[in-house]
């Protein structure tokens, strides 16, 4: 998986969690919280949807890694690839 | 272990909070079953049929209404968490509501889903209080009302710091208390904030078909997520072993096990189910506040009686507003009128019949002890008294007997009815006076959601189920 594909996975999840947000102009290097109205309940949902849909585990200590799309891609892409290698 | 009778989560009660919790848990792959003693879902917000006519209970209006695009409020959080598209609720806004005080409603404050209307009304009727009112509004906006760990603060004390006129103070407390206070005379400021926002800063709406639309949406989501539901199957006992809810014994005498148990039936009601063998569960007192409601079905639209403007009217005729368990069966001095026809259903749509509902404070013990024949007679007597009281706060009718001539049928529920159908002790629809924000109980895997957790109104009830499912189960992985 490429980092861009990984970002798309995250954006798809946010689109389902927060259908009332406009995701067309998200800046990858800016914190999601600063561009969208996402609260802690929504971030918990991103983590849980990653687990449900893709089997990716994000421990609570690593939630901070999901701050922006860029940091999501940095953190999650290796996890996706490690998982794919195992299969 | 019989895998068919083991669940990740067992939920007691299929009301709004239990259903909402169930949707969250089932969506994230938990094996969930909701056990409901009644044959209908909804709990305190349900509906029933008599002679083919459906009556809503509980819901006068859904509070917390905000227009599409307004984010960060309870309604938006609820929709996101349950993956509900707001069009599914098809909410129709109120026309206007009023707080009417005095023997004939001489002092009246109008409010709508636009907060500026209330602000202007306060400025016009209480010019010397408007700065204080604005200060109170700021205090409400800034208060961390969804925190799960704030202590009790007297709302009366906080409000008096801003509002110097007892009449205005009581007028603000009347709707806030009637729509959610489990405590008499005063309430926790955190609860006041939740209700003030829900009623005044947000607003009232309802689906055209009433509460059943909301329940249908919840049930469809729950079913689609794979949740199970057993109706007419209450939980009779919770067997405690080593500080855990080890087993549930159902009304059918089946034994069920679950990793987690979420009870929406109330704190004292849940405590009563626990069988530990060691010690009696600590006593949680049932709430003291209950209500009666009269429902009058009319052969014409209320507008034809001149009652076409007000959706909800909160009234009080006494020098001070007395929110307490009455000494008599009913206290008709104050109450709430709801005219469901006066939601804005659109130009070409109106409810087929007129509906006029009145709610007043009631004393559970007085109603509970009546023999059946006296109970029936007293219902009729109080029906008339409540209607006579409430009518003083609506525009006068052209002819004195117009209302009785327009009446097709009537119904009335009492604290006794509430306990019979919902299992809530003492008919306490807002639950015990003391709230348990964290929802923890004496058993580590048994949690409370719903009324006694402390988020109120139907949006609050659903958020309660969501928060407790998140906090105790989903966040733990």
Q: Establish, for the pair of chains A and B, how many residue pairs have beta carbons separated by less than 8 Å.
A: 33
The answer to whether B83 faces chain A, any CB pair under 8 Å, is yes
Residue B59 has pLDDT above 90, yes or no: no
Q: To probe the interface with B, which of A19, A56, A57 has the most B CB atoms within 10 Å?
A: A19
Nearest-CB residue to A48 (from B71, B76, B474): B474
Give the model confidence (pLDDT) of A11-63 as tens digits. 999 999 999 899 999 999 999 999 999 998 999 999 999 999 999 999 989 99
Q: Which chain B residue lies closest to A22 (C-alpha atoms)?
A: B69
Stated pTM of the model: 0.95
Q: What pLDDT score was predicted for residue B454? A: 84
Alpha-carbon gap, residue A76 to A7, rounded angstroms: 9
Residue A86 has pLDDT above 90, yes or no: no
Q: What pLDDT score was predicted for residue B278? A: 62
The answer to whether A36 faces chain B, any CB pair under 8 Å, is no
The answer to whether A19 faces chain B, any CB pair under 8 Å, is yes
Give the model confidence (pLDDT) of B249-275 as tens digits. 999 999 999 999 999 999 999 999 998
The answer to whether B148 faces chain A, any CB pair under 8 Å, is no
- A45 CB neighbours in chain B (<8 A) are 80-81
Query: Do strands B446-448 and B255-263 pair parallel, antiparallel, or not at all (unpaired)?
Result: parallel
The answer to whether A39 faces chain B, any CB pair under 8 Å, is yes
The length of chain B, given as a count of residues? 477
Q: Which residue has the higher pLDDT, B148 or B108?
A: B108
Q: Tell me the pLDDT band of B148, cut-offs 50, 70 and 90.
A: low
Give the model confidence (pLDDT) of B211-264 as tens digits. 999 999 999 999 999 999 999 999 999 999 999 999 999 999 999 999 999 999
The answer to whether A17 faces chain B, any CB pair under 8 Å, is yes
Q: Tell me the pLDDT band of B281, cut-offs 50, 70 and 90.
A: low
Strand, coil or helix: B290: strand
Residue B347 has pLDDT above 80, yes or no: yes
Residue A5 has pLDDT above 50, yes or no: yes
Nearest to A52 by CA among B25, B224, B219, B445: B25
- Could you tell me what percent of chain B has a pLDDT over 70? 97
Residue B279 has pLDDT above 70, yes or no: no
Cβ atoms within 10 Å of A8's Cβ, excluding its own? 14
Q: Tell me the pLDDT band of B282, cut-offs 50, 70 and 90.
A: low
- Mean pLDDT of the B436-462 span: 92
Q: Tell me the pLDDT band of B4, cut-offs 50, 70 and 90.
A: low
- Mean pLDDT of the B149-160 span: 90
What single string gives the DSSP state of each residue in A34-59? HHS---HHHHHHHHHHHHHHH-----
- B83 CB neighbours in chain A (<8 A) are 16-17
DSSP B188: B
Do B387 and B295 contact (CB within 8 A), yes or no? no
Residue B408 has pLDDT above 70, yes or no: yes
Q: What pLDDT score was predicted for residue B382? A: 98
Do B250 and B235 contact (CB within 8 A), yes or no? yes
Highest mean pLDDT among A39-43, B43-47, B126-130: B126-130
Residues 393-452 of B with CB under 8 A from A: none
The verdict on ipTM greater than 0.90 is yes
Do A22 and A11 contact (CB within 8 A), yes or no? no
C-beta atoms of A44 and B85 within 8 A: no
The answer to whether B154 faces chain A, any CB pair under 8 Å, is no
Do B15 and B37 contact (CB within 8 A), yes or no? no
C-beta atoms of B72 and A17 within 8 A: no
C-beta atoms of B68 and A45 within 8 A: no
Residue B184 has pLDDT above 80, yes or no: yes
Nearest-CB residue to A41 (from B29, B68, B470): B470
C-beta atoms of B470 and A44 within 8 A: yes
What single string gives the DSSP state of each residue in B224-265? HTT-EEETT--EEEEEEETTEEEEEEETTS-EEEEEEEEE-S
- Could you tell me what percent of chain B has a pLDDT over 90? 86
Residue B72 distance to chain A (closest CA, Å): 7
Q: Tell me the pLDDT band of B151, cut-offs 50, 70 and 90.
A: confident
C-beta atoms of A41 and B81 within 8 A: yes
Both tokens of B307, joined, read: 């009652």
Give the model confidence (pLDDT) of B413-444 as tens digits. 999 999 999 999 999 989 998 889 899 999 99
Residue B24 has pLDDT above 90, yes or no: yes
Q: Tell me the pLDDT band of B1, cut-offs 50, 70 and 90.
A: very low
Q: What pLDDT score was predicted for residue B477? A: 66
Beta-carbon contacts of B405 under 8 Å, excluding residues fewer than 6 positions away, are: none
Q: Which chain B residue lies closest to A48 (C-alpha atoms)?
A: B28
């Amino acid at each position: 998986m490429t980092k861009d594909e990984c970002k798309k996975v995250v954006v798809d999840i946010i689109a389902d969690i927060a259908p009332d947000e406009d995701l067309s102009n998200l800046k990858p290097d800016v914190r999601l919280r600063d561009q969208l109205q996402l609260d802690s309940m929504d971030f918990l949902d991103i983590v849980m949807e990653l687990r449900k849909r893709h089997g990716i585990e994000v421990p609570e200590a690593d939630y901070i890694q999901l701050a922006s799309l860029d940091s999501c891609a940095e953190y999650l892409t290796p996890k996706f690839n490690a998982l794919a290698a195992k299969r | 272990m019989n895998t068919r009778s083991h669940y990740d989560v067992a939920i007691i009660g299929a009301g709004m909070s239990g259903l909402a919790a169930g949707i969250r848990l089932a969506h994230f792959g938990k094996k969930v079953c909701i056990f409901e003693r009644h044959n209908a879902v909804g709990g305190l917000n349900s509906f029933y049929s008599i002679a083919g006519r459906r009556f809503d209970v509980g819901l006068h209006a859904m509070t917390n209404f905000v227009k599409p695009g307004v984010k960060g409020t309870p309604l938006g959080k609820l929709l996101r968490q349950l993956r509900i598209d707001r069009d599914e609720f098809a909410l129709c806004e109120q026309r206007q509501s009023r707080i009417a005080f005095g023997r004939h409603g001489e002092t009246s404050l109008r409010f709508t889903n636009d907060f500026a209307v209330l602000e202007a009304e306060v400025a016009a009727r209480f010019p010397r209080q408007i700065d204080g009112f604005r200060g109170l509004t700021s205090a409400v906006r800034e208060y961390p009302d969804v925190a799960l760990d704030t202590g009790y603060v007297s709302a009366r004390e906080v409000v008096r710091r801003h509002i110097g006129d007892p009449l205005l103070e009581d007028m603000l407390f009347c709707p806030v208390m009637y729509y959610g206070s489990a405590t008499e005379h005063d309430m926790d400021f955190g609860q006041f904030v939740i209700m003030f926002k829900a009623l005044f800063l947000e607003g009232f709406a309802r689906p055209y078909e009433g509460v059943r639309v909301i329940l249908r949406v919840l049930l469809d989501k729950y079913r689609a997520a794979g949740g199970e539901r057993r109706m007419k199957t209450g939980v009779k006992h919770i067997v405690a072993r080593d500080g855990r809810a080890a087993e549930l014994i159902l009304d059918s005498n089946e034994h069920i096990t679950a990793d987690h148990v979420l009870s929406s039936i109330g704190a004292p009601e849940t405590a009563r189910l626990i069988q530990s063998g060691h010690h009696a569960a600590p006593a949680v007192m049932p709430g003291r506040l209950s209500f009666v409601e009269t429902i009058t079905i009319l052969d014409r639209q209320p507008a034809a009686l001149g009652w076409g403007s007000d959706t909800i009217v909160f009234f009080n005729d006494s020098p001070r507003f007395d929110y307490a368990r009455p000494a008599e069966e009913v206290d008709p001095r104050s109450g709430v009128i709801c005219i469901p026809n006066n939601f804005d259903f659109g130009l070409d749509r109106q409810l087929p019949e007129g509906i006029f509902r009145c709610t007043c404070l009631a004393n559970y013990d007085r109603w509970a002890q009546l023999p059946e024949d006296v109970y029936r007679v007293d219902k009729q007597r109080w029906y008339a008294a409540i209607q006579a009281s409430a009518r003083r706060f609506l525009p006068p009718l052209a002819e004195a007997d117009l209302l009785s001539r327009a009446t097709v049928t009537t119904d009335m529920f009492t604290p006794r009815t509430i306990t019979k159908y919902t299992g809530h002790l003492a008919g306490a629809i807002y639950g015990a006076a003391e709230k348990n924000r964290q929802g923890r109980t004496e058993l580590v895997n048994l949690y409370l959601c719903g009324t006694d957790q402390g988020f109120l109104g139907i949006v609050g009830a659903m958020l309660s189920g969501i928060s407790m499912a998140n906090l105790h189960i989903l966040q733990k992985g």
